[in-house]
Amino acid sequence: MTEFSSLFGERFSNFLDYRTARGFKRETYLRNFIKFDRWCIENHPTQTGLSRELVLDWINDDTVSGYNAVQRVVSMRQFARYFCAAGEDAYILPERYTPLIFLPTWN
């Protein structure tokens, strides 16, 4: 059992249990949630909801590579849907969302 330290910890565990019960591999989201958990502790320690600002800050972190940015989008979209299904407010990324890492810069 993975221990999470942020205020999202219990929700991460519940989401992972839910996905596993539905036949998905726990590891599919686990790595991103561990990183997000640490990032939240460092950057947003009191945040309890998945606000638009929080989600976009995490997705568009300039230290992440292209593949990892896509994995973040997928995991956060699913986690936000889970939040909403549990009756909580959460920002759900649009289906065709493109992380900033893939957008051209005009210098």
Residue 2 scores a pLDDT above 70 = no
> What are the structural domain ranges in the chain?
9-102
User: 9-102 is classed in which CATH architecture?
Assistant: Orthogonal Bundle (1.10)
Looking at the DSSP assignment, which residues form a beta bridge with residue 90? 50
pLDDT of 37-89, one tens digit each?
999 999 999 999 999 999 999 988 777 777 788 888 889 999 999 999 999 99
pLDDT at 104: 45
pLDDT at 21: 96
pLDDT at 99: 65
Please, which residues have CB within 8 angstroms of residue 40's CB and are 6 or more apart in sequence? 6, 7, 8, 47, 54
DSSP label of 46:
T
pTM, two decimals, is: 0.84
